[in-house]
Structure 1
Amino acid sequence: MSQVTNNTQDPFYFILTGIPGLESSHIWISIPFCCLYTISIVGNTTILTVIRTETSLHQPMYLFLSMLALTDLGLTLSTLPTVMQLLWFNIRKISFEACFAQFFFLHVFSFMESSVLLAMSFDRYVAICRPLHYTSILTNEVIGKIGLAIICRCVLVVLPGLFLLKRLPFCRSHLLSHSYCLHQDMIRLVCADIRVNSWYAFALILLTILMDPLLIVLSYVMILRSVLLVASMAERLHAFNNCLSHIAAVLVLYVPMVGVSMTHRFAKHASPLVHVIMANIYLLAPPVMNPIIYSVKTKQIRQGILHLFSQGNMH
């Protein structure tokens, strides 16, 4: 009995659950997961390659798109190792240090996704509302500073949460309810006062998860007002068409995010399978869908991909 107590009080590792109730089917479930991870890695790498090789795409809009692709790659690679090793080899153990490292990168890239989409909404606002000053406002130097500010912002908001969690004792259980290490999952295993952590998480939600979409909506209100002042219907349609890809990317991020929040708040007694599926949709949907959205909706990206593959066939 004392041995069990010592193990639970001294957690050098956590145990990942995987897909609850479907453990015997993990090898089959790995097939769609593997396909989604492959689509994400290939799609975002292709976007980055096209933007880097096509000099005509060295413009603010596509530089922001390359930031989004890098963020999506980071988000994908943050969860891929633990998910696939669990599904393929049934390796459920993850060390204490590795779990906190995954926690850090997973949450940093999640916040970066939202931050980059906010920066892209600013790009669309300048392009449509102040087109004559577009290149003078969004210079390479300004875009570099925005990128650096996004990285600093996301690292600085996640680090305190990491240290606040790491100082607490984990003595209730080793078992995490997902295939990766999430803050809301790990905090349940703590057997100490977590009020400071809860207040910090609440402040974080207010300052980032709620503020970013509100600012994006505000930018589109100003864009809509500017577009409606344009006399020509063709120009209005052209302006709206330039925003469609970004709007789709925003919906792909925030609709699953709202779904996960609603599930955690109002469906606490739902099957664990529901929570796991919702969490996986939230983390996999943006990296998988964003390259497809921008490849389908953006003519320049589509042409760049065709040019890239035609060059590859010639070699």
Structure 2
Amino acid sequence: MNRLLEAVVENNRQWTKEGKIATYIPELGKADPNTLGICITTLHGEEYFGGDYETKFTIQSISKVITLMLALLDNGRDRVFSKVGVEPTADAFNSIITLETKNTQKPLNPMINAGAIATVSLIEGKNSEEAFNRILNFTRKITGNPDININKDVYNSEKATGHRNRALAYFMKSTGVIENDVEEVLDVYFRQCSMEATCKDIARIGAMLANDGVLPWSGERIIPRHVARIVKTIMVTCGLYDASGQFAVEIGVPAKSGVGGGILAAVPGRMGIGVLSPALDARGNSIAGLKALEELSKELDLSIF
């Protein structure tokens, strides 16, 4: 398997020359565009690697999977989905237009920025510090990595430049979707996006979801099976933003991307996959990462369809 992953990396390294690194968060612009790494974690806890799999990156929107799980644990599905929908979108991940044009005025799904911010507002904690620490500790648990922490430079950069996210949050405050203090909610959101991980870490999250909520390396159940299924379903329909349908056709597994260049994938009953390549397409998805996953999906027949 290691040989296959190294071959996949070499076959697709040319694609790192395409696309652009996200610079609207200035600190992300410092990433090396030539990076390409991949990791697989099986449901037996075996791990395989290829390329630059040890490179750390901020998980950005991959964190939306984590906070959705935690919000469902804290509130139950009815409460969560009274605040955020489950429908795909053809608009960009940071679009504000559907908040005003849809009759419900709630975000379409938890994988776009507005939906993720609404989801974060539901996580229990008496203040932003306590809420974020619950997210951080949960992330450490599901990755088996007690050293995961935030990249403070990226956090400060996001907080200083996150004007669109503030607009989304304050609009949702005005319609009652967000009930808590907006700046506290945003602080948690900026922190969660700034958590730093490797391909191995996100592959482990994928493996837990692929294993219906059970950690493959310990056998411990982390989330109920029905929560894992909800999360994987939304990953299939919404996890790659407005490219989710194309991803389902070409690769066909539950996945979530982030503008840090990472992609988390969960192949039900088989494995979790973590991929990193920072150069993005116009929709905010890793170009080389998508190409590597496409080749891997064909080689191992991973599509769930």
TM-score, with normalisation over the residues of structure 1?
0.32
Q: Please say which structure displays the higher CA radius of gyration.
A: 1
**Structure in which a larger fraction of residues adopt strand:** 2
**Structure in which a larger fraction of residues adopt helix:** 1
